[in-house]
Amino acid sequence: MKNTFYKNFAILLISCAITSSLIARPATKLTDKMAAEQHQDVVELRRWFHQNPELSNREFKTAERIAEELQKLGLEVQTEIAHTGVVALLKGAKPGPTVALRADIDGLPVTENTGLDFASTKTAKFAGNDVGVMHACGHDSHMAMLLGAAKILTSLQAELAGDVLFIFQPAEEGAPPGEEGGAELMLKEGLFKKYKPDAVFGMHVGLNMQGGRIAVRSGPAMAAVDQFEVFVKGKQTHGARPWGGIDPIVISSQIILGLQTIASRQINVTKQPSIITVGKINGGVRHNIIPDLVELWGTIRTFDLEMRKDIHKRIVKTAKAIGESAGADVEVVIQEGYPVTVNDPELTAQMLPTLERIMGDIGVVTPDLVTGAEDFSFFAQEVPGLFLFIGSVPKDADPKTAPSNHSPFFTIDESIMQTGVRAYVDLTLDYMSQYKE
């Protein structure tokens, strides 16, 4: 009896040592196996989220389901952060760093046209209109992958050398007009003061890249986004007597062309690219009336903080100077949006071997700068951050022609979510194993 006890005890010690070694060692086969075993559960979660999308700051049922799944894992869950955000902290059994893992949870005002069996038929009010609602940017998969990672990491709690903060963030696509939301509001409400992470990781499907590929870029990766409005105030007159007034339509056309010279002729294009786009023009009511007001709306994309500030000043100066030259009053309003998403160079270099191990012979690619924006950038301003892309184009589709994010036809190859789960888990474990205070 005694010999049997010592024999079993010895086996238990060896087993624990092996498990501990697997977890401590970067790139474990154990976590790969666990990701594969629960892949179908992740797929089912993704499909539920896909069928039940909700707009920014209105993700009530989404948040309920996330909280329910986290509570099943025995985690203490905090809800209603930044309106509908959900967070949970997994306390490791051993001392170490705190790693934050983030997924966004909101859908878009897009009417789905994928033909999927689990396609969204949801509708909602947006800007006063009835609209379809769709996870047209892949946030459904982001949530499912992070919940899958949470399940694996929770099962390894006894061996974790550190804590894991799971962040399910609302309103990544932007809060409704007049409201605050997203990562910025989560931080404003004290998220990183209560749980100060040492590093934060996030990911995004899409980028019109073949399914399963991982792409990561050190330094500036995604653009800062700002919105501008230009109000050109002229003097109304008959269209047959333009000299009797001040034509804000002609002046607005000159302003539009003038703004294009900022990026092409005034900014050092060898440093970083920049984009100034006018996306909306509103003015006039009739073919033979020159109106007294024209409004221009546009977007600014930059990858450098000082360049961003400089372009803002040049937009104001250019628009006002053109208006003054024609006798019009011009008002410019610039609303800052998300900052540049910057991947911390040291953290990126540290974690690149982890991503390369996950990809094996396929390797990790360096993407071009992405002119889209991400409010993960607010988190990465507070602590070192790494934001990566996972290609999600279905196997039978051409990445060059496949529908991109925000399209009513956008869909993903669900098999890639196993790669995403592995990335969340292995980035966490490897960071913990390499951490030095």
- Local confidence band at 393 (pLDDT 50, 70, 90 cut-offs): very high
pLDDT at position 37: 96
pLDDT at position 343: 98
User: Measured between alpha carbons, how far is residue 332 from residues 171, 176, 227, 246, 380 in Å?
Assistant: 27, 22, 11, 18, 30
Q: Which two tokens stand for residue 88?
A: 């949970």
- Local confidence band at 228 (pLDDT 50, 70, 90 cut-offs): very high
* Least confident piece of the model among 18-32, 159-173, 198-212: 18-32
Given a contact cutoff of 8 angstroms between Cβ atoms, the answer to whether 267 and 332 are in contact is no
338 catalytic? Reply is: yes
Global pTM? 0.91
Over residues 353-370, mean pLDDT: 94
pLDDT at position 16: 44
Q: State the CB neighbour count (10 A cutoff) for residue 346.
A: 10
Domains recognised in the chain with CATH numbers = 2-223+343-434 (3.40.630.10), 224-336 (3.30.70.360)
Tell me which residue of 190, 215, 90, 205 sits closest to 149, measured CA to CA. Answer: 90
Which residues are CB-contacts of 12 (< 8 A; sequence separation ≥ 6)?
A: none
Q: Which two tokens stand for residue 131?
A: 């609209």
pLDDT in tens, 318-343: 999 999 999 999 999 999 999 999 99
pLDDT in tens, 27-40: 468 889 999 999 99
Q: Which two tokens stand for residue 240?
A: 């047959």
Tell me which residue of 295, 293, 292, 266 sits closest to 279, measured CA to CA. Answer: 295
pLDDT at position 396: 86
User: Measured between alpha carbons, how far is residue 243 from residues 93, 103, 216, 240 in Å?
Assistant: 79, 57, 57, 9
37 catalytic? Reply is: no
Which of these is catalytic: 54, 112, 338, 424? 338
- From start to end of 241-384, where are the E strands? 275-283, 289-290, 293-302, 329-336, 341-343, 364-365
Given a cut of 90, whether residue 121 has pLDDT beyond it is yes
Q: How far apart are CA 357 and CA 232, in angstroms?
A: 56
pLDDT at position 207: 86
Q: How far apart are CA 393 and CA 223, in angstroms?
A: 23
pLDDT at position 28: 67
Given a contact cutoff of 8 angstroms between Cβ atoms, the answer to whether 391 and 416 are in contact is yes
pLDDT in tens, 230-252: 999 999 999 999 999 999 999 99
Given a cut of 80, whether residue 13 has pLDDT beyond it is no
Given a contact cutoff of 8 angstroms between Cβ atoms, the answer to whether 264 and 275 are in contact is no
Which of these is catalytic: 59, 69, 172, 414? 414
